[in-house]
Amino acid sequence: MKKSTFLLIFFLLFIVACSRNEVIKTHGVAYLKKREKLIIVDETNKNDTISVLGQPSTKGMVDDNLWIYIERTRTRGKLHKLGRNYLKKNNVLILEFDKYGILKRKEFYDKSNMNKIKFAKNETENELRKENFIYSFLSSVRQKMLIKRK
């Protein structure tokens, strides 16, 4: 009996010791805050940026001279958070180059800065889609009426 309880206690201590290490999941460019300091406005070009940070996570939709780098780190919560994942780091670096490939603007946002960004609350309604839906609905009803009439 003593031997089995001893093994059970040893096994439980072994399991608890394994779960002490924090599991970190990183997405994007690691150490973005440190690497961002190596890039200097009006001196760094696109090739230097690629050698320091790698290829951008995203480029601008209409302008290829707008590059966006992302670093996102999540980890498991402690016992009082019931083991749910929470966001540890959420860094975004926005770089804007001129037509010659020289860096002209650099903006760095971290988790605390993102809470201060204000977004527009207005929503744009798509009138074209509503008209198309109504038109297509009425057209289908009209066709059904014509088919039944024949």
* pLDDT tens digits for range 50-59: 999 999 988 9
Q: Cα(115)–Cα(117) distance, rounded to whole angstroms? A: 6
pLDDT at 121: 73
For residue 68, the enclosing domain spans 23-118
Residue 11 lies in a domain: no
Q: In the chain, pLDDT over 70 holds for what percent of residues?
A: 67
pLDDT at 85: 77
Residue 147 lies in a domain: no
Residue 1 lies in a domain: no
Residue 87 lies in a domain: yes
Residue indicated by tokens 């010659």: 100
How many distinct structural domains can be found in the chain? Answer: 1
Per the confidence metrics, is the pTM higher than 0.75? no
Q: How far is CA 74 from CA 13, 117, 145, in A?
A: 26, 21, 58
Residue 63 lies in a domain: yes
Residue 44 lies in a domain: yes
Q: How far is CA 39 from CA 63, 69, 137, 140, in A?
A: 20, 13, 56, 59
Residue 132 lies in a domain: no
